[in-house]
Amino acid sequence: MIANGAVEGRTGQWETVIGLEVHAQVISKAKLFSGAAIDFGAEANTQVSPVDAAFPGMLPVINRVCVEQAVRTGLGLDAEIRLASVFDRKNYFYPDLPAGYQISQYQQPVVGRGRVVLDMPDRTTREIGITRLHLEQDAGKSLHDQHPSSTYVDLNRAGVALMEIVSEPDLRSAEEAGIYLRKLRSILRYLGTCDGNMEEGSLRCDVNVSVRRPGEPYGTRCEIKNVNSVRYVMQSIEYETRRQIEIIEEGGTIAQQTRLFDAARGITRPMRSKEEAHDYRYFPDPDLLPLVLDPDWVERLRAELPELPDAKKARFVSAYGLSADDAGVLVAERENAFFFERVAAGRDAKAAANWVMGDLFGVLNRLGVGIEQSPVSAERLGALIDLIADSTISGRLAKEVFAEMIATGADPAAIVEAKGLRQVTDAGAIDSAIDEVLAAHIDKVAEYRAGRDKLYGFFVGQVMRATQGKANPALVNRLLKEKLSG
């Protein structure tokens, strides 16, 4: 239905225009303007200082670590670092906003224009513009399900540092939005500036969607607030695109609106507004001085940045000879790339890639865990590959050993010994096994010699069976060919 950004409506083609505002929780030990801790899942209202609860006379003091994380993220997004930025107050009343204002950056964010490069399924790349990144405080949480008539407020999250990362309206389909979000999350995780955990709310997304006829100016947009998974982002865009096209095609107009995604029904619906009139009365927070960065400090952070996914992918292709597709899969998650490199160290990189992406990912998928919880360590997977390389076991036997490693976590060499799986490389033993097989199937030998080449595989299978699969396949091949042609 949606391909190449074009959407077929009743009256012709439409184009979806999407911009994302991602709220990424900064990895730090303390909040943006207070020393309170930020552990996820702590008991309600136990991670709150008088500053977070906006008690009288309390003042914010910027957390240097959070600024550093924002700057590092900006550098990772190839963005302009603004050496002077300003914190503003965004004023509105809500019970989970203790001060009655959120400290944010309005006109002068810490990070300006940047970009994210997307790898598209057709192997092209797309560059998506980043408009800005700014630091702001998170609000607390209103709990409506604790009491029949009252709302409870948990301020643990109040004041936690968020980076709001705003994209240009460069995305053209739900699929692109999904790729963008995954890529952004991957960059944040590489940088260690946000754990990207959407279930825990450390990455949340506001989705701006509008539609237009191709080539025409932007249409009126609707903002879908607080979507908390990549899948929901994609679903909400698909739904919203359809909804807007239908309205326009039926002669209506789109009202600029804030909407919510109802995951259960897969639809978006208008949201109750925070305040009747949205006048946030932004002004510079007089409790905070402008944030001024030392250019040398920024350059030091730039020099210390880790290798990011795009660079790593290019290196995997050039240094390991992997295909771009394989490299792309391996670098998507930082932990996977690290794991792969440990497996590949000093070994056949393609074999390492195949084992990691094939057998290991299959198992992890089945177990529903990430590579950090892999039952097989990189070192042991490497050892398994070594056993193949030095002909101790065949590739076929290796699968069996791998299954055992998954089940027990044991060392592959120990499994080979314990189960007697060591490959037979004794030519004499294989010779006699071949002789027995050929003797038992004289008719088939005749047929083969008469030209039925297809029977070759049958003989190989019989020999392997006779040796319980332990015969060295290369040796079997050589000896079998000699005997059959002889």
Partner 1 sequence: MSDSSLLALTLAEACTGLAQKSFSARELAAAYNDAVKVAEPLNAYITPTPERALAMADAADQRLARGEALPLDGIPIAVKDLYCTKDVLTTAGSHILDGFRPSYESTVTDKLWQAGAVMLGKTNLDEFAMGSSSTTSWHGPVENPWRRAGDNRPLVPGGSSGGSAAAVAARAALAAIGTDTGGSIRQPASFCGIVGLKPTYGRCSRWGVVAYASSLDHPGPMTRTVRDAAILLRAMSGHDPRDSTSAPVPVPDFEAALTGDIRGLRVGIPREYRVDGMPGEIEALWVQGVEWLRAAGAEPVEISLPMTKYALPTYYIIAPAEASSNLARYDGVRFGLRVEGDSIDEMYELTRAAGFGAEVRRRVLIGTYVLSAGYYDAYYLKAQRVRTLIARDFVTAFEEVDCILTPTAPSAAFAIGEKSEDPIAMYLNDVFTVPANLAGVPVVSVPAGLSDDGLPLGLQIIGRAFDEETVLRAAEVLEAAARFRHLPSFIAGGGR
Please give the residue ranges that form the binding site for partner 1 (CB under 8 A): 50, 53-62, 89, 91, 93, 95, 98-101, 151, 153, 279, 281-283, 286-289
| Identity of the residue, 60 or 159, whose beta carbon is nearer to partner 1 in the bound complex | 60
| Shortest CB 291 distance to partner 1, Å | 10
Among left, alpha and beta (phi > 0; psi -120 to 50; other), residue 105 is beta
| Identity of the residue, 91 or 425, whose beta carbon is nearer to partner 1 in the bound complex | 91
Are the C-beta atoms of 343 and 383 separated by less than 8 Å?
no
Are the C-beta atoms of 76 and 178 separated by less than 8 Å?
no
| Shortest CB 25 distance to partner 1, Å | 23
| Shortest CB 359 distance to partner 1, Å | 55
The half-sphere exposure of 337 on its side-chain side, counting CA atoms within 13 A, is 25
Q: CA 75 to CA 81: how far, in whole Å?
A: 7
DSSP string, 439-468: HHTHHHHHHHHTT-TTHHHHHHHHHHHHTT
Are the C-beta atoms of 484 and 459 separated by less than 8 Å?
yes
| Shortest CB 30 distance to partner 1, Å | 14
Q: CA 87 to CA 106: how far, in whole Å?
A: 7
Residue found under tokens 């020393």: 35
| Shortest CB 91 distance to partner 1, Å | 5
Q: In this structure, how many other beta carbons lie within 10 angstroms of the beta carbon of residue 191? A: 20
Size of the chain in residues: 486
| Identity of the residue, 151 or 408, whose beta carbon is nearer to partner 1 in the bound complex | 151
| Shortest CB 300 distance to partner 1, Å | 23
| Shortest CB 85 distance to partner 1, Å | 14
Instruction: Classify residue 447 by burial, with Cβ atoms within 10 Å: 0-12, 13-18, 19+.
Output: middle
| Identity of the residue, 256 or 365, whose beta carbon is nearer to partner 1 in the bound complex | 256
| Identity of the residue, 274 or 399, whose beta carbon is nearer to partner 1 in the bound complex | 274
Are the C-beta atoms of 396 and 461 separated by less than 8 Å?
no
| Identity of the residue, 46 or 151, whose beta carbon is nearer to partner 1 in the bound complex | 151
The 3-state secondary structure of 392-411 reads CCCHHHHHHHHHHHHHHCCC
| Identity of the residue, 88 or 310, whose beta carbon is nearer to partner 1 in the bound complex | 88
| Shortest CB 101 distance to partner 1, Å | 5
| Identity of the residue, 54 or 357, whose beta carbon is nearer to partner 1 in the bound complex | 54
Helix (H) or strand (E) holding 318: helix 309-320
The one-letter amino acid at 384 = L
